[in-house]
Structures are given as structure tokens and as C-alpha cells.
Amino acid sequence: MALQRSHDSMDEKLWSRLPEDLMQRVLVFLPIPDVLRLRCVCKAWNSQLSYRRSLDCPISAAVSQALLSQQPYLLCLTAVASHPTIHVYNVSLRKWDVISLSFLPELDEISIIKSGGGLLYLKARVGHCDDTIFLTCNPLTKTWKQLPSVFSENEPYRSGMSSLTSMVCSSEPGRGYRIIEAGLNGLTDLRTKIYDSATGEWKTSGGLPSQVTGFESEGVIINDCLYGVTCLPYKIIKMELDGGSWSEFSPSLPKCAVYPHLVESLGEMVMLGGYDSCWEEGFIPEPTALKVWRLDRSKMEWECVSSLPDEMLEQHLTKNCFDSLKCAAQGASIFISNFDGSVVLVFDLVLNSWTRLLECPSLSNRQSCIEHMLRDFFSIRQASMERVLMSG
């Protein structure tokens, strides 16, 4: 029997007829910069990567997980007049990329509130008036959508206490994404607002406990529950995403932990924060160390797993920076940034090791800061959320 020549398997006619879902599975493994360039190759590939029609073919969970583990990104924002630029760090390739947001309308004071699944949730002012608008955008597909006002017509936006914001993206077709805002309008408004992209509307859910005066850090989602740490007195409260009601979560935080941050790492709840052995409630904390705790759910106790080495603490952080740290996690890696983004430290939960991330050269003038560090920045699976941005 004659063997078929090997080059026949690369027949152009065969590969040109590859089903869209298989093509997406191939494209999903490419580095993000290559994906951006591939949109210019031909109309078919541009359609695969950005056209609404192709977005109804979800990629398998296994492929999605492979992408998310290979290409996590960190994000920082540089304001350049009315057209900001985002600098993203590819953890696996150890390099910085620059992506423009010039496709957005002309806005003032743009800030990134939250991110997830390749989408950015932004707040901005229009012109020189005090009107604040909220919008979502997809930098990969260069699409954006202004969200309906979260407040009623006669209810102005008041930036009061530190609110809790979370963004949940679903991999199920038609589910889109949800944005959760708790305590957005100051101490007088403890309602929880939830935006559902499937309906294009905000709905009011359960209110925060009356004793909550703000949140110490950003929320974290674990097992379909949103967790947040309140300002003093420190407490963890949680809300079930489907139930919408808030409740206190046990156990209480370690006594000497100050300025705590919650992250999810390898499915576990992890807390980072300052450590002040002499601190008592009612006094200003003076942390002398940066520690990492892991929640042992079998015992419902916090276990200290690591401390930032003293030499790294003295070299990279100051005593006054603990209340402005930002944290994010991807897999076993936990990222800690100071306020201006000049230092990003990485803790590996499995290896129990600390390193410093390569500094972004474009931020040498310190005119910008890391607004938010997000995991899984340019997931092609979630880039398909353009369907949601383009609808409604």
C-alpha cells in the first residue's frame, strides 16, 4: 500500500475549511500579541477573533484553563490626555506589552474599577461637568458599552466610603457577565447593586450590614460567593452570588493582622497583610512585617504560611505603604504592588518563595500607577464577551 505523502496533510483546501470551533481552539494557544496581529491577516480571521457571529461557540473548559494558566496578565493604566494606554505584563513571557484605549470616546479622568475575563469596568467624567458614567470595554476587540446609570435620575453619584466591587464573567453561552457594587454611594446607601449584561439592567439586592463603614480591600470570589473585609473593626462578610444576602463569615481574622487583603489561590482563601504584634483596636497600626495566611477550612482557622524576608521589606516597601497595597493572584502566584506601581512582588504559594517582578520601563517617571492588577487579562474565551458589549 502506497504511503500518502506527508505534505498532503497540509493541503490548503483542507485547512481553509476547518470548522470555526476548531480554529478557535488553535488560536487560543497563541500569545496575545500574535492574536492581535492575526486580525489583520484576512477577513475570516478577523471575523473569528472579533465578529459577533463567531462568539456563540464556547471553547471547552480544558482549553480555557490551559490559556488562563499560560497567559495571565497584570494591568496598569497610563493617562495620556483623554486617550489612556494600558501596560500589561505577560507573566509567562516576562515582558511588558502596551495597548491603546484610543477607541474609547473622549472622556476625562478615566479610572479602572475592576476587570475580569478580558473586560475592563471603567469610571469616567464627561467633559467638565460632574456627570460620572460607567462603561465596560474589551481592549482586544476594541469595543465598548456605556452602562445604564446605577442611580435613579434624581440620585447623584457621591463617592463616599470605600465600596466593594466585583466582576463575574460566565463561560456559559448567553450568561455574559455581572458587576456587583456594594456601598457605592456612601454611608447613607448600603444597598447592593448588580448589573447583568444578559438583561442590560441593574437590580437592587440585599443591603450591607448596618455596621459596615467601608471595605479595607477589593473583594474576592470563591465557590460562587463574594467575600470582602470591612474597615475597622475588621470582619469578613460574604454574599452568595445567587442569593444576594450578606452575612458574617467565620473565622475572625488573626489578632495582629492589619490592612488585610483577600485573594483566591489554587481554590483556597489566602490573606495578605501587615503584622503588628502590639496593635490594639483604636490605635493606628504600625506593621513591622508583611505576612501571608491561608484559611484551613477543615479547622476554620488562619494559618500563617510565610513572611516577606526582612531584607526585601526594607528594600522595596515602606512602613507607610501597607494601607495602599494592591493584591491579585493567578494560580500559585500572588502579586503585591505598592501604590505607584514601582514595586510588584510575587509570592509563590507552592514554592514558598518571594521574587520581584520586572519593572515597567514606561512608568519610570511615576506619573502613572497600577490601578488594578487582574488575572487572565486577555482570555480569548472571554474576549468573546464582545457579544455582550455589542448587544443591547
Reported for 195-202, long-range contacts at CB under 8 A and 24+ positions apart, including other chains, are 195/147, 195/150, 197/136, 197/385, 197/388, 197/392, 198/174, 198/388, 200/148, 200/391, 200/392, 201/148, 202/147, 202/148, 202/150
Instruction: Give the residue from 269, 275, 262 showing the smallest Cα distance to 218.
Output: 262
- pLDDT beyond 90 at 162: no
Secondary structure (3-state) at 195: strand
Indicate if 197 and 243 belong to the same structural domain.
Answer: yes
pLDDT at 29: 67
Whether a cis peptide bond, with omega within 30° of 0, leads into 361 is no
pLDDT at 225: 92
Cβ–Cβ under 8 Å, residues 150 and 170:
no
Q: How far is CA 14 from CA 19, 22, 272, in A?
A: 10, 13, 53
Count CB-CB contacts under 10 A for residue 345.
Answer: 22
What are the cell numbers at 138?
474589551
The upper half-sphere exposure of residue 197, i.e. CA atoms within 13 Å in the direction of its Cβ, equals 27
Question: Tell me, what DSSP letter sits at residue 197?
Answer: T
Q: Is residue 364 domain-resident?
A: no
User: CA 279, CA 225: separation in Å to the nearest integer?
Assistant: 30
Instruction: Give CA angle at 263 (261, 269), nearest 5°.
Output: 110
Let me know if 344 is exposed, middle or buried by CB neighbors in 10 A (0-12, 13-18, 19+): buried
Element (H, E) at 147: none
1-5, 96-100, 106-110, 242-246: range with lowest mean pLDDT: 1-5
pLDDT for 181-205, tens place per residue? 888 766 567 888 899 988 999 998 8
Q: Is residue 133 domain-resident?
A: yes
Q: Is residue 204 domain-resident?
A: yes
Let me know if 3 is exposed, middle or buried by CB neighbors in 10 A (0-12, 13-18, 19+): exposed
Indicate if 72 and 123 belong to the same structural domain.
Answer: yes
Give the total number of structural domains in the chain.
2
- pLDDT beyond 50 at 139: yes
pLDDT at 6: 47
pLDDT at 391: 40
pTM: 0.77
Indicate if 292 and 228 belong to the same structural domain.
Answer: yes
Question: Tell me, what DSSP letter sits at residue 11?
Answer: -
Across the chain, mean pLDDT equals 76
Indicate if 126 and 23 belong to the same structural domain.
Answer: no
Reported for 48-53, long-range contacts at CB under 8 A and 24+ positions apart, including other chains, are 48/20, 48/23, 48/24, 49/140, 49/141, 49/380, 49/383, 50/140, 50/141, 50/142, 50/143, 50/386, 52/386, 52/387, 52/390, 52/391
Indicate if 29 and 172 belong to the same structural domain.
Answer: no
Q: Is residue 368 domain-resident?
A: no
pLDDT for 51-100, tens place per residue? 333 222 333 333 434 444 455 677 776 655 556 778 787 776 778 878 88
Q: Are strands 225-229 and 236-240 parallel, antiparallel or unpaired?
A: antiparallel
pLDDT for 372-382, tens place per residue? 454 444 433 33
- pLDDT beyond 80 at 3: no
Which domain does 40 fall in, by range? 19-48
Indicate if 39 and 65 belong to the same structural domain.
Answer: no
Q: Is residue 391 domain-resident?
A: no
The string of DSSP letters for 282-295 reads TS-----EEEEEEE
Indicate if 62 and 102 belong to the same structural domain.
Answer: yes
Question: Tell me, what DSSP letter sits at residue 215?
Answer: B
Count CB-CB contacts under 10 A for residue 302.
Answer: 18
User: What residue has cell string 526582612?
Assistant: 310
Let me know if 389 is exposed, middle or buried by CB neighbors in 10 A (0-12, 13-18, 19+): buried
Crossing angle for the helix pair 43-50 and 20-27, nearest 10 degrees?
80
pLDDT for 331-369, tens place per residue? 888 989 887 777 889 999 999 999 998 877 766 544 444
Q: Is residue 292 domain-resident?
A: yes
**169 falls in which pLDDT band (50, 70, 90)?**
confident
Q: Is residue 240 domain-resident?
A: yes
What b-and-e string marks burial along 126-155, b requiring 16 or more CB atoms within 10 Å of the CB? eeeeeebbbbbbbbbbbbbbebeebbeeee
Indicate if 65 and 178 belong to the same structural domain.
Answer: yes
Q: Comparing 262 with 39, which gets the higher pLDDT?
A: 262
Indicate if 256 and 138 belong to the same structural domain.
Answer: yes
First and final CA of the chain: distance in angstroms? 59
pLDDT at 175: 67
Indicate if 87 and 151 belong to the same structural domain.
Answer: yes
Cβ–Cβ under 8 Å, residues 336 and 348:
no
- pLDDT beyond 80 at 49: no
Indicate if 152 and 271 belong to the same structural domain.
Answer: yes
Indicate if 240 and 282 belong to the same structural domain.
Answer: yes
Q: Comparing 244 with 128, which gets the higher pLDDT?
A: 244
**8 falls in which pLDDT band (50, 70, 90)?**
low
Q: Is residue 367 domain-resident?
A: no
Domain harbouring 64, CATH code:
2.120.10.80
pLDDT for 264-319, tens place per residue? 999 999 999 999 998 887 788 889 999 999 999 999 999 999 999 999 999 998 87
pLDDT for 202-254, tens place per residue? 998 888 888 888 888 888 889 889 999 998 889 999 998 887 789 999 888 98
